[in-house]
Amino acid sequence: MKKILCATFEDGKANIVEVESSFVRALPSFTIVGLASNSIQEAKDRVKAALYAIDFKFPPLKVTINLSPSDIKKSGSHFDLAIALSIALQKKKVDFKDYFVFGELGLDGTIKDTNSIFPLILSLKEFYKDLKVVVPCESVGKISKIPGVKIYCVENLLKAVDFFVKEEKREINSAAIEAKSIEILGKRYYYEDNFPLDFKEVKGQEIAKRAALISAAGMHNILFEGSPGSGKSMIIKRLRYILPPMSIEEILEVAKLSALDKKEPTFTPIRPFRSPHHSSTKASIFGGGSNSAKIGEVALSHLGILFFDELPHFSKTVLEALREPLEDGKILISRVNSKIEYKTDFLFAAAMNPCPCGNLLSYKKECRCTEAEIQRYKNRLSEPFLDRIDLYVQMSEINPEDSSTISSKEMKKSVMKAFEAQKRRGQKRVNGKMDEKEIENYCIFSEEAKEILDRAVDRFSLSFRSINKIKKVSRTIADLEACEKIEKKHLLEALGFRKR
């Protein structure tokens, strides 16, 4: 009996599966057991055709393929190659030596890539130090980006058979991330300095651009309120390109999420940007489904930006459900058949009008809304939800005399300096994602700033969460000005961005 290693996704992580084969004298048949999905059951026809294509005669015996352990549901066409090899090499003395085998078979014996191979191998690498994989040549470009994986590629089933029969094994070298990088305390971080959307196109709105810079430097949640056409969405869409650099682990995590979203990973240090429409269902935003807990927009925006335009138009249930991932940095999706936890360390950016007609803050246009309509509109955002916003910006009206004052390149340079300061302090996370212990260690105030903060807490009746938010924003402002301690001016600016 042959055993070949493969894997399947269970509760958001890779579970090792042993592909076992058995040949017995009985009426000829081909059976796959072990809670195999339809995509695996269909492998029988693909495997037969591929074996015939390499002139292998299917034995006139009862062939049974078992996917062990049998109590875990398996899915994916990447099991094809392991199943075919277990049949083709049944009579040969072959030691598979802990190789993991992945690949979908074509009817002519060619081996194809699938969306699940890359995230499976990335997940396996977390608990397999010496990971050896046999994969389609199409998959090499992606998998070679994972450091520490021994990769062996095969083009077709015949070459896969030769690989295990012959002693010579040719390993493929890992490929580096193709992007600019900086090294901080022995660790490398990658970034892009191309700006398809540039802040130099935003005229005026100096306070809003300053808030955007602070938000990017510390990954702080931000809310823009202003009249239609004032540039709210324009600024948020440019925010993505000035965010902090990414480590190799973060780039791979984003690539894994792209693969789970059925998209081709790019392996660029540009953070994800997700912008669901306000009519989107709760399941599409948070993930779920009737049978399985599929990934949603909140999880797909991990390490990037989640943008809610026209914020009050999102349903109350969606906005209130967003409180947990904003606070905890994770979301647990529970279904009868599965429970999956996704990380949600994203920058939440939102834009809204001041009233239903949008003209409440305008000096030129008259607001048509009644007090009751305005209050009803504002009440769609609860205080606990707004308490999770770090920076609140009220946009000014556009002026024909406004000019461009700063470019994305200049803002990115400031963000890079602030990021380096955070890492050199020993921070594992950026300022906006610090926990209580990290806030206590790294948010050091001068005596004058400490007195002002105490007075602000008493005067504005700030909650514990609000105090921490102000401390974190103050820390980022100090980092932008290369100050070790948080001074009075840094704290006052942070208080100025508080939601009133």
- Could you report the per-residue pLDDT of 284-305, keeping only the tens digit for each? 999 877 666 778 999 999 999 9
At 192, give phi and psi (nearest 5°). -115, 145
Residues 193 and 280 in one domain: yes
Contact 87, 94 (CB under 8 A): no
Same-domain status, 474 and 349: no
- The whole-number pLDDT of residue 171 equals 86
Are β-strands 62-68 and 180-184 bridged in parallel, bridged antiparallel, or unpaired? unpaired
Residue 119 near residue 259 (C-beta atoms within 8 A): yes
- Report the CATH number that the domain containing residue 473 is assigned in CATH: 1.10.8.60
State whether 382 and 258 are in the same domain: yes
Q: Is residue 378 part of a domain?
A: yes
Q: Are residues 67 and 200 both part of a single domain?
A: no
Classify residue 25 as left (phi > 0), alpha (psi -120 to 50) or beta. beta
pLDDT at 290: 62
* Extended strands (E) in 227-346: 246-247, 273-274, 305-308, 330-334, 339-343
Q: Do the beta carbons of residue 472 and residue 431 sit within 8 Å? A: yes
Q: Identify whether 181 is part of a domain.
A: no
Asked whether residue 306 is domain-assigned, the answer is yes
Specify the pLDDT at position 338: 74
CB atoms within 10 A of CB 382: 12
Low-confidence ranges of the chain (pLDDT < 50): none
CA atoms within 13 A on the CB side of 9: 25
User: Could you give the CA distance from residue 388 to residue 320 in angstroms, rounded to a whole number?
Assistant: 11
Does residue 365 share a domain with residue 462?
Answer: no
Please give the pLDDT value at position 233.
Answer: 95
Residue with tokens 């796959």: 32
Given a contact cutoff of 8 angstroms between Cβ atoms, the answer to whether 236 and 351 are in contact is yes
The pLDDT of residue 95: 81
**Domain assignment present for 32:** yes
Residue 292: per-residue pLDDT: 66
Using the CB atoms, write b or e for 191-217: b if 16+ within 10 Å.
bbeebeebbeebebbeebbbbbbbbbb
Reported pTM: 0.92
SS3 13: strand
The residues with which 181 forms a beta bridge, in sequence order, are: 190
Which residues neighbour 307 within 8 Å (Cβ) at sequence distance 6 or greater? 236, 237, 273, 274, 275, 349, 350, 351
Residue-range definition of the domain harbouring residue 482 = 434-500
The answer to whether position 179 is within a domain reads: no
pLDDT at residue 318 in the model: 95
What is the DSSP pairing of strand 180-184 with strand 187-191? antiparallel
Structural domain includes residue 172: no
Does 375 share its domain with 277?
yes
Strands of 353-428, DSSP E: 391-394
261 with 394, same domain: the answer is: yes
Task: Give domain status of residue 427, yes or no.
Answer: no
Same-domain status, 240 and 108: no
Is residue 454 domain-shared with residue 331, that is, in the same domain?
no
Rounded to whole angstroms, how far apart are CA atoms 470 and 499?
Answer: 11
Q: In this structure, what token pair is assigned to residue 360? A: 């409440």
Report yes or no on 423 lying in a domain. no
Q: What is the CATH number of the domain that holds 6?
A: 3.30.230.10
Question: What is the CATH number for 365?
Answer: 3.40.50.300
Write down which residue in 412, 442, 475 finishes a domain. Answer: 412
| Residues 188, 373: Cα–Cα separation, whole Å | 52
Whether 341 and 214 share a structural domain: yes
Q: d(Cα 400, Cα 204) in Å, to the nearest integer?
A: 9
Residue 131 CA to its chain's centroid (Å): 24
- Give strand pairing partners of 343: 330
The domain tally of the chain equals 3
The per-residue DSSP string of 338-370 comes to -EEEEE---EEEEEE-SSSSS-TT-SSS-----
Are 208 and 241 in the same domain? yes
Tell me which of 412, 443, 470 is where a domain ends: 412
Helix axes 408-424, 464-480, angle to 10 degrees: 110
Render the burial of 53-73: b for 16+ CB within 10 Å, e for the rest.
bbebeeeebebbbbbeeeebb
Quick one: 223 and 267 in the same domain? yes
